Homo-oligomer: A and B are copies of this chain.
C-alpha cells in the first residue's frame, strides 16, 4: 500500500488522464483544473457558469480581504438596482458606444410589454450618477465614497469560465469628489489597493499602469490596471481603476455648490475587480497536478489525512488526527480532517492536491509511534518538500509554515515573471520572438490607435499598460521609431 509515499506511477497516470499537461495545451489544462477541482460548471444558459462551493469559498476569501481594504480606506457598501432604464445608458456618448453591443434587455415584466425596455446592468455608472445627482448638493456632501458587490451582465460570445462570462460577480467602487486632484488621487489609491491585495493575498505580482486610449473604459478620461502574468506568459488584466473626470457628472447634472457658492460638476472615479480573480489564481499558480492556493485565501489551509491499515490503529490515529484539526481550528487556521472510509489515502492526497490545499499533514502508525507527523507543502510536491515534525509544538509551527508557503509562492511567481519579461526594440523583433517566447515585452511607446491595430494584427499581442513605476529616460518607440519616455508592457492577453 503506497498511501504514505509520494504519488505512485498509477496515480500520476490517472491524473494525467484527467488534467492535460499545461505545457502541451494550457487552455485545456485550465478547463481541466476548473472541472477537477470543482470550481465551476457550465450553465444551461450560454456564456453563464455555476460557481461551485469550492470556487465560491475561494471568491468569498478574496472578497473579504478586499472588503476590509475598501472599508479601511473610507468606503461604504450600498446596493443599486439590477435594472437600468435603457435611456440612461445613452446619456454618456462613449459609454453607450462601448456597452450597447453587450447588453441584455428586459422587454417584458409582470406579463406585460414594458413601455421602456430595461437594461440588465453591465456596470452602474449611469444609475449611480442618477442617485448622486439627488444626494449631492453641497461640498459638505463630498467626497462620496461608495462600493457595491453585485452581479453584472455583458453578453459574451466566446466565454471562458471566470475569465469571460455573460454574468459575473464583481465589486464596483463609485466615488464623487470636489476636485480633479482628489479624484485622481482616489483612482490611484484604489489601484494601489488592488496591487496590495494581488501581491499580499493572492501572491500574484502585478504590473501597474495606464491603459492606452483604445483600451480605456468607455466613459473614462483615464483608465489604470493591474496586469498579472499567467503560467503561459499571457497577461490577465486583473483589476481596473478609472478617473472619469466630469463625463458622467455632465450627462447626469451631478453638481455641488462649493464654498464660494459656485455650482460645479463633481469629479468621479470607478474601480472594479471580479470573479476573474479566481481565474487569475488558477493560472498564476496552478501546476501539472492542479490548483495551488496561496494560504491567505485558501478556503482550506491545512488538511489532515489519517493513514492506517488495521482497525486497531484506526481509533487511535483518527482520534489524534481529530485533535490536531480541532487545535488548529481553535488557533484560527482553516483546517479539515479527511476521515472518509470509502477512499484510500492515495486518493485523498490526489484529491487535496488538485484542490491546491497549501499544507497536508499525514498521520500514520509510524508517525504516531514516534510522536510525529509528516508535513507535505503543496508548493513543493513529492519527496523534496516532505518532512517529519514532532507532534509537540506542531500547532505553533503551522502559521509560520503557511506564511513561508505564501512567501515562497509569491517569490516563485515573481521569478517566473522576471524570467519571462524581455526588452524589445522593434515590432519586427517582437514578431520574431513572441511565438517562441511568450511573456511580457517591455518597450518604448509613442504610437496611436492605428499603431495598436498594426501591432495586434502582426502579433496578436496588445499594449497591456503604460508603466507607472519605471526608470527615468527615453528611447525609440518600437512601432513608430519616435523618441518617447513612455514605457509599456506588450503581451498576449485574455
Point out residues on A near B: beta carbons under 8 Å.
41, 43-45, 48-53, 56-57, 59-60, 76-85, 88, 100-111, 117-118, 120, 127, 130-131, 134-135, 140, 146, 150-151, 153, 155-157, 166-167, 169, 342
**Residues of the B chain whose Cβ atoms lie less than 8 Å from the Cβ of A85:** 44-45
Q: Are B105 and A101 in contact (CB under 8 A)?
A: no
Known: A51-B79, A79-B56, A155-B110. A41 touches B101 (CB 8 A): no
Q: How far is the CA of A130 from the CA of B45 in the complex (A)?
A: 11
Q: How far is the CA of A216 from the CA of B340 in the complex (A)?
A: 39
Q: Are B43 and A127 in contact (CB under 8 A)?
A: yes
Q: Are A109 and B53 in contact (CB under 8 A)?
A: no
Closest 9 CB pairs of A and B: A110-B155, A53-B76, A48-B81, A51-B79, A105-B108, A104-B109, A43-B81, A107-B107, A45-B83
A17 to chain B, nearest CB (A): 20
Q: Are B106 and A101 in contact (CB under 8 A)?
A: no
Q: How far is the CA of A342 from the CA of B51 in the complex (A)?
A: 48
Known: A101-B111, A140-B342, A167-B83. A77 touches B56 (CB 8 A): yes
Q: Are A105 and B104 in contact (CB under 8 A)?
A: no
**Residues of the B chain whose Cβ atoms lie less than 8 Å from the Cβ of A48:** 81-83
- Ordered by A's residue number, 7 sampled pairs between the chains whose C-beta atoms are within 8 Å are A44-B85, A45-B81, A45-B85, A53-B77, A53-B146, A105-B107, A105-B109
**Residues of the B chain whose Cβ atoms lie less than 8 Å from the Cβ of A109:** 103-105, 155, 166
Q: Are B56 and A76 in contact (CB under 8 A)?
A: yes
- For A43, give the chain B residue with the smallest CB separation: B81
- For A59, give the chain B residue with the smallest CB separation: B79
**Residues of the B chain whose Cβ atoms lie less than 8 Å from the Cβ of A51:** 78-79
**Residues of the B chain whose Cβ atoms lie less than 8 Å from the Cβ of A82:** 48, 82, 120, 151, 153, 167
- For A107, give the chain B residue with the smallest CB separation: B107
- For A49, give the chain B residue with the smallest CB separation: B81
A121 to chain B, nearest CB (A): 11
Q: Are A106 and B80 in contact (CB under 8 A)?
A: no
Known: A110-B102, A151-B151. A41 touches B134 (CB 8 A): yes
Known: A48-B83, A53-B146, A60-B77. A105 touches B106 (CB 8 A): yes
The listed residue (B88, B106, B111) touching A100 by CB distance below 8 A is B111
**Residues of the B chain whose Cβ atoms lie less than 8 Å from the Cβ of A50:** 78-81, 131
Interface centre among A53, A100, A111, A127, by most B CB within 10 Å? A53
A333 to chain B, nearest CB (A): 16
Known: A104-B109, A108-B105. A81 touches B146 (CB 8 A): no
**Residues of the B chain whose Cβ atoms lie less than 8 Å from the Cβ of A111:** 100-101, 103, 155
The listed residue (B41, B78, B134, B166) touching A56 by CB distance below 8 A is B78
Q: How far is the CA of A156 from the CA of B88 in the complex (A)?
A: 22
**Residues of the B chain whose Cβ atoms lie less than 8 Å from the Cβ of A57:** 76-77
Known: A77-B60, A104-B106, A105-B107. A84 touches B45 (CB 8 A): yes
Sample of 5 further A-B pairs with CB below 8 A, known A53-B78, A83-B104, A106-B107:
A50-B80, A57-B76, A57-B77, A82-B153, A104-B109
Q: How far is the CA of A43 from the CA of B81 in the complex (A)?
A: 7
Interface centre among A82, A146, A153, A155, by most B CB within 10 Å? A82
- For A100, give the chain B residue with the smallest CB separation: B111
**Residues of the B chain whose Cβ atoms lie less than 8 Å from the Cβ of A83:** 45, 48, 104, 153, 166-167
- For A79, give the chain B residue with the smallest CB separation: B51
**Residues of the B chain whose Cβ atoms lie less than 8 Å from the Cβ of A56:** 76-79
The listed residue (B43, B53, B120, B157) touching A106 by CB distance below 8 A is B120
Q: How far is the CA of A120 from the CA of B130 in the complex (A)?
A: 24
Q: How far is the CA of A131 from the CA of B82 in the complex (A)?
A: 25
Q: How far is the CA of A387 from the CA of B154 in the complex (A)?
A: 57
Known: A56-B79, A134-B41, A167-B83. A108 touches B107 (CB 8 A): yes
- For A151, give the chain B residue with the smallest CB separation: B82
**Residues of the B chain whose Cβ atoms lie less than 8 Å from the Cβ of A140:** 342
Q: Are A44 and B79 in contact (CB under 8 A)?
A: no
- For A117, give the chain B residue with the smallest CB separation: B108
- For A80, give the chain B residue with the smallest CB separation: B50
Q: Are A79 and B43 in contact (CB under 8 A)?
A: no
- For A114, give the chain B residue with the smallest CB separation: B104
**Residues of the B chain whose Cβ atoms lie less than 8 Å from the Cβ of A167:** 81-83
The listed residue (B77, B102, B110) touching A157 by CB distance below 8 A is B110
**Residues of the B chain whose Cβ atoms lie less than 8 Å from the Cβ of A102:** 110
Q: How far is the CA of A60 from the CA of B41 in the complex (A)?
A: 28
- For A157, give the chain B residue with the smallest CB separation: B110
